């Protein structure tokens, strides 16, 4: 911050000097003016490199931080807000590390029945009952799913809760009649 202010001050002084030289029609190559111009240009270049380097480091740090894998609990809290203590156990988790390339957040979680009721009430999901015999049909939109993401193991029939937020964002939950295991797919392109 201080370097940026100093850079602005030096640029201002240099511009005022150049304006003065133009108005007075002074020669910029005058022996008296040359050291002032050289030192000012050097300081401006030095400060530009320092402030530019700091900004570059900040940008790189931000990119690295955003590309680090997130913890399942943090992603779950972003999707459904903070669950009650001890109500969610993560079996499998795959994060969407690079949006537009990785299609979805995938989760296989064990939840208490109260937690499932809580997350189902948060959004205006459309509920349908699905027969596991029709797995090829209902899993078609989830072709990029991990091998462990298998809602068809939930029983002969189970519930599919789906909401489409817009053209690129939707969320689907699959859970069985006992409401303890939930397969979650959150697509955000």
pLDDT in tens, 116-146: 889 989 999 999 888 888 877 777 788 788 8
pTM of the entire predicted model: 0.65
pLDDT one-digit tens code per residue, 35-46: 767 777 777 677
Cβ(146)–Cβ(92) below 8 Å? yes
Residue ranges per structural domain of the chain: 2-67, 72-188
């Amino acid at each position: 911050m201080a370097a940026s202010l100093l850079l602005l001050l030096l640029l201002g002084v240099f511009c005022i000097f150049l304006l003065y030289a133009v108005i007075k029609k002074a020669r910029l190559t005058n022996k008296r003016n040359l050291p002032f111009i050289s030192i000012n240009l050097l300081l401006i270049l030095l400060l530009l490199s320092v402030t530019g380097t700091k900004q570059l480091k900040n940008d790189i740090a931000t990119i690295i931080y955003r590309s680090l894998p997130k913890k399942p609990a943090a992603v779950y809290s972003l999707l459904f807000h903070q669950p009650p203590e001890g109500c969610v156990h993560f079996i499998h988790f795959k994060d969407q590390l690079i949006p537009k390339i990785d299609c979805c957040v995938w989760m296989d979680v064990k939840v208490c029945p109260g937690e499932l009721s809580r997350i189902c009430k948060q959004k205006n999901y459309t509920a349908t009952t699905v027969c596991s015999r029709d797995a090829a049909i209902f899993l078609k939109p989830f072709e990029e799913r991990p091998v462990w993401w298998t809602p068809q193991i939930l029983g002969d029939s189970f519930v599919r809760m789906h909401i489409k937020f817009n053209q690129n964002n939707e969320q689907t939950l699959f859970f069985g009649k006992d409401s303890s295991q939930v397969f979650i797919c959150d697509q955000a392109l």
